[in-house]
């Protein structure tokens, strides 16, 4: 009868220990509900399809976020059909006419992309959403304020908006715009801005509020009972049900709003305390996830 030598037995033990050091799988994301408990994609979708407004708070350079944005949009479309409306922070209100004409197939993508103010990661991260709207005859809202007006507020404060022409004001939330510096997201931004050049820290959250108010107003213009709007935005704009949502609740009463927040953690097996309750659903991706830029 053959027997293993001590050297072979030791090698087998080392191999077994090494294999145990590897996890059984490497999930790209995990989903948690508002209470911080794990949930499934299907359970999340069942809640999303009953919403009036869905906010997807992304990390702009996260590939999982952009993939899920498209997958969730496809899932909503199978249930909502042409009552689904897409909307995004990444497009500004003064480009809405061009987007509408493009979605009517009046000219080619090459011409569209040359004329619209596009983010640098448009082709990889947002073009699939625009193409989905084009292919399925859906509306796509350019919800954000033109960046030049946010820059003006950042430099001069909200008062500068009163000096704009009537035409310019059509691209903004209605004036006078309510601004509450005690809202958590704006207060936090103000604190982060301490130490910046004089006047900058005070006005930075006001510029953010102008964006939030304008995006909220854009959504309110397009939404009507029976419709569902899915809005793609940076996570800070809808985190803790503030930002855009704080303003939207002032424009429209009794909306069912569902929020999704993408967060990054070293360990995704458990939701970190700071991330519990920040959204209806929190999707956690590993901090080692590759970035799109």
CATH of the domain at 56: 3.40.50.11550
| Residue 19, domain member (yes or no) | no
- What distance in Å separates the CA atoms of residue 161 and residue 172, rounded to the nearest whole number? 9
pLDDT of the chain, 293 residues: tens digit per residue: 555 555 556 555 555 555 555 556 889 999 999 999 999 999 999 999 999 999 999 999 999 999 999 999 999 999 999 999 999 999 999 999 999 999 999 999 999 999 999 999 999 999 999 999 999 999 999 999 999 999 999 999 999 999 999 999 999 999 999 999 999 999 998 887 555 555 457 899 999 999 999 999 999 999 999 999 999 999 999 999 999 999 999 999 999 999 999 999 999 999 999 999 999 999 999 999 999 99
Minimal CA–CA distance to 41: which of 88, 49, 53, 233? Answer: 49
In which element (H, E) is residue 84 found?
A: strand 84-92
Phi, then psi, of 140 in degrees rounded to 5: -135, 115
Give every strand in the sheet of 281-286, ordered side by side. 38-39, 30-33, 281-286, 257-265, 53-58, 228-234, 84-92, 139-144
Question: What is residue 11's predicted lDDT score, i.e. its pLDDT?
Answer: 54
Structural domain of 248: 28-286
d(CA 47, CA 43): 7
Q: Are strands 281-286 and 30-33 parallel, antiparallel or unpaired?
A: antiparallel
Count of domains forming the chain: 1
Residue 104 within any structural domain of the chain:
yes
Query: What is the helix (H) or strand (E) element at residue 281, kind and residue range?
Result: strand 281-286
Report the 10 Å Cβ neighbour count for 40.
Answer: 9
Separation of alpha carbons 103 and 115, rounded Å: 14
In a domain, 47, yes or no: yes
**Domain assignment of residue 90, yes or no:** yes
Q: Which of 258, 236, 232, 245 is nearest to 39 (CA)?
A: 258
**254 dihedral zone (left: phi>0; alpha: psi -120 to 50; beta):** left
User: Quick check: is 184 in a domain?
Assistant: yes
Task: Note the pLDDT of residue 190.
Answer: 82
Does residue 14 lie within any of the structural domains? no
In a domain, 7, yes or no: no
In a domain, residue 292? The reply is no
Per the confidence metrics, is the pTM higher than 0.85? yes
């Amino acid at each position: 009868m053959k027997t293993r030598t001590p050297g072979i037995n030791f090698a087998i033990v080392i191999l077994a220990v090494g294999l145990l050091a590897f996890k059984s799988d490497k999930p790209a994301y995990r989903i948690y509900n508002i209470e911080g408990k794990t949930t499934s994609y299907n359970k999340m979708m069942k809640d999303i399809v009953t919403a009036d407004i869905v906010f997807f708070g992304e990390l702009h350079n996260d590939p999982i976020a952009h993939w899920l944005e498209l997958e969730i949009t496809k899932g909503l479309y199978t249930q909502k059909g042409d009552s689904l409306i897409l909307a995004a922070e990444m497009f500004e209100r003064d480009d809405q006419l061009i987007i509408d004409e493009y979605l009517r197939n009046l000219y080619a993508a090459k011409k569209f992309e040359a004329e619209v103010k596009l983010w640098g990661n448009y082709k990889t991260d947002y073009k699939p959403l625009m193409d989905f709207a084009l292919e399925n005859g859906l509306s796509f809202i350019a919800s954000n304020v033109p960046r030049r007006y946010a820059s003006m507020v950042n430099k001069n404060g909200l008062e500068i908006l009163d000096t704009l022409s009537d035409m310019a004001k059509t691209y903004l939330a209605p004036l006078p715009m309510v601004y509450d510096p005690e809202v958590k997201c704006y207060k936090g931004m103000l604190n982060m801005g301490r130490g910046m050049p004089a006047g900058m820290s005070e006005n930075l959250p006001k510029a953010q509020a102008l964006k939030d108010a304008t995006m909220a107003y854009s959504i309110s213009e397009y939404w009507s009972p029976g419709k569902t709007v899915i809005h793609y935005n940076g996570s800070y704009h809808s985190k803790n049900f503030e930002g855009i949502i704080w303003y939207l609740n002032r424009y429209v009463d009794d909306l069912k709003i569902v929020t999704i927040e993408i967060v990054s953690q070293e360990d995704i097996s458990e939701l970190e305390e700071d991330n519990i309750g920040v959204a209806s659903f929190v999707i956690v991706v590993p901090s080692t996830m590759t970035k799109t830029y």
